[in-house]
Amino acid sequence: MTNEELWKAVLGEMELSLTRANFTTWFKNTSVLSKDKNAVVVSVPNGFIKEWLENKFNKRILESIRNQNPEIREVRYTIGRPKIELARRDFSNVLLEKELESESDSGADKDIDGATNLNKKYTFESFIVGSNNELAHAACLAVTKNLGKLYNPLFLYGGVGLGKTHLLQAIGNKVLGENSSKNILYISAEKFTSNITETIMNRTIEDLKSKYAQLDLLIIDDIQFIAGKEKTQEIVFSTFNELYGKNKQIVLSSDRPPQSIPTLEERLRSRFEGGMIADIGIPDFETRLAILKQKSREKNYDFNEETFVYIATHIQKNVRELEGALNRVGAFSQIYNRTPDTKEVKNILNTYLTTPYKKTSPQSILKAVADFYSISGGDLIKRSRKKEVVKPRQVAMFLLREETKLSFPEIGQKLGGRDHSTVIHACEKIKSEVSVDEPLKQELVLIKERVYNSFEK
Ligand code: ADP
Ligand code: MG
């Protein structure tokens, strides 16, 4: 077996046990450099990866190598060839004549700095690290220490309210805190787009472009928003190349990975995938508890353990909601000037918790959907495009996404190995239809009733 074949087998195994983003992050540009009787030397692209493979993956990698070569006792990691740079593009050098305009929403929030759009409250110190965001957090921190040199761009993705903006802002705050002369801009893709529209109307697009071109760190939040917006994509692309060519750092966030953003130009997609991609998942119970306690410290709330446990048990999918619930309990204690007991906490959160939390499983959802639409479980998985099965299948995908912790690719897997983009499409379709289609809404309620009642037995 050649070194190449050996590593391919190892990668194959690792790929199965990791999300696509994590797999790419940790194993892109790795290879087996040499192999002797009892040791294998693996080449990795940089020190950051080296550390993570040594500390987090070594055991699994070794196991996997030993499946092929039982006599191997040790794996060593060494930093290999540097990354090939993107060709630098030429740009006309437009000088900045006007003063740089501020991005802020005219002081809407006193905590937000007008020049950078950074909000001081989002720091690494106030960010709780759990297994759901460990990689993303480490990548963000590493970027602040190697601005423009380690990962460019850094691309974070994950669901709503899971801490993307917090981490993006923390990067900006840390870089600015350590060097106040750095030129930093945090901007939402939505604002980015509206700025471009404005400058097109005012014929000042070149000013805007040269303003972006002078940044040391550009952070664009919710980049999926530029899907389908041609002019904006063009400016993102030229700004990207300009900054990248000068080793200036770009950080992006999205609710989904680059390959799942619809109507994103191929050239942008490949740029976005060219650095580091890290995902953020749903926090586990311990992390939720730690976040609640952290937020309570920030707000000077003083609740008992039972209250925290109650909230962390009942709100699971979204840190923003977790905070919202905490604030409600906080409001109660301010009004009545005392800490509520658990029964009161339950009452306060009752409206927040429209459906009480019950555990479910993918199987019970698939069964409930199939039963409800009088088709077989097999029909959901089959390739058929018949109308009678297409809609139930989309509903199943939607419910799996809403009611379980499965990722889009995992849902695709459960439904006969469909691509995750199909799943995303289905989820979005059902989500938008529910708001206008009353019968469909009712159907979903009924199916959910089946799911949770059957599970209780
Ligand atoms: P997203 O941008 O992913 O939608 P945000 O970054 O806006 O989410 O996070 C929503 C809220 O939850 C913010 O107030 C943020 O501070 C908080 N939050 C999310 N994750 C964490 C965490 N790990 N530790 C502390 N606070 C968090
Ligand atoms: Mg956000």
Nearest CA, atom 5, ligand 1: 163
Residues present in the chain in total:
457
Q: Which atom of ligand 1 is nearest to the CA of 319?
A: 12
According to the model, what pLDDT value does residue 167 have?
Answer: 98
Ligand 2 mean position, distance from CA 222 (Å): 6
According to the model, what pLDDT value does residue 94 have?
Answer: 19
Which residue's structure tokens are 């070569």? 69
Ligand 2 mean position, distance from CA 162 (Å): 8
Q: Which atom of ligand 1 is nearest to the CA of 287?
A: 23
Ligand 1 mean position, distance from CA 280 (Å): 11
Rounded distance between C-alpha atoms, residue 258 and residue 247, angstroms: 21
Nearest CA, atom 25, ligand 1: 127
Rounded distance between C-alpha atoms, residue 401 and residue 398, angstroms: 5
Nearest to 404 by CA among 360, 444, 453: 360
Instruction: Report residue 143 CA to chain centroid gap.
Output: 16
Nearest to 322 by CA among 362, 352, 299: 352
According to the model, what pLDDT value does residue 102 have?
Answer: 23
Burial 96-130 (b: 16+ CB within 10 A, else e): eeeeeeebeeeeeeeebbeebbbbeebebeebbeb
According to the model, what pLDDT value does residue 453 have?
Answer: 62
According to the model, what pLDDT value does residue 403 have?
Answer: 87
Ligand 1 mean position, distance from CA 157 (Å): 13
**Cβ–Cβ < 8 Å for 290, 130:** yes
Q: Which atom of ligand 1 is nearest to the CA of 133?
A: 23
Ligand with minimal distance to 222 CA:
2
Per-run averaged pLDDT (10 residues), the chain, 457 residues: 89 83 82 90 86 88 91 90 34 20 36 90 96 94 94 93 96 97 96 90 88 96 91 94 96 90 88 93 94 94 91 89 88 82 84 58 91 88 88 95 88 93 94 85 78 54
According to the model, what pLDDT value does residue 351 have?
Answer: 60
- Helix/strand/coil (H, E, C) string of the chain? CCHHHHHHHHHHHHHHHCCHHHHHHHHCCCEEEEECCCEEEEEECCHHHHHHHHHHHHHHHHHHHHHHCCCCCEEEEEECCCCCCCCCCCCCCCCCCCCCCCCCCCCCCCCECCCCCCECCCCCCCCCCCCCCHHHHHHHHHHHHCCCCCCCCEEEEECCCCCHHHHHHHHHHHHHHHCCCCCEEEEEHHHHHHHHHHHHHHCCHHHHHHHHHCCCEEEEECHHHHCCCHHHHHHHHHHHHHHHHCCCEEEEEECCCHHHCCCCCHHHHHHHCCCEEEEECCCCHHHHHHHHHHHHHHHCCCCCHHHHHHHHHHCCCCHHHHHHHHHHHHHHHHHHCCCCCHHHHHHHHHCCCCCCCCCCCHHHHHHHHHHHCCCCHHHHHCCCCCHHHHHHHHHHHHHHHHHCCCCHHHHHHHCCCCCHHHHHHHHHHHHHHHCCCHHHHHHHHHHHHHHHHHHHC
Ligand 1 binding site (Cβ under 6 Å of any ligand atom):
126-128, 133, 158, 160-166, 291, 294, 319-320, 323
> Sign of dihedral through CA atoms 377, 378, 379, 380?
positive
Query: What residues have their beta carbon closer than 5 A to ion ligand 2?
Result: 164-165
215's CB contacts (< 8 A; 6+ apart) are: 183, 184, 185, 243, 248
Instruction: Name the residue of 109, 129, 162 whose CB sits within 8 Å of the most ligand 1 atoms, as the mutation to test its pocket.
Output: 162
Ligand 1 mean position, distance from CA 144 (Å): 19
Q: Which atom of ligand 1 is nearest to the CA of 159?
A: 3
Rounded distance between C-alpha atoms, residue 354 and residue 356, angstroms: 6
According to the model, what pLDDT value does residue 86 have?
Answer: 29
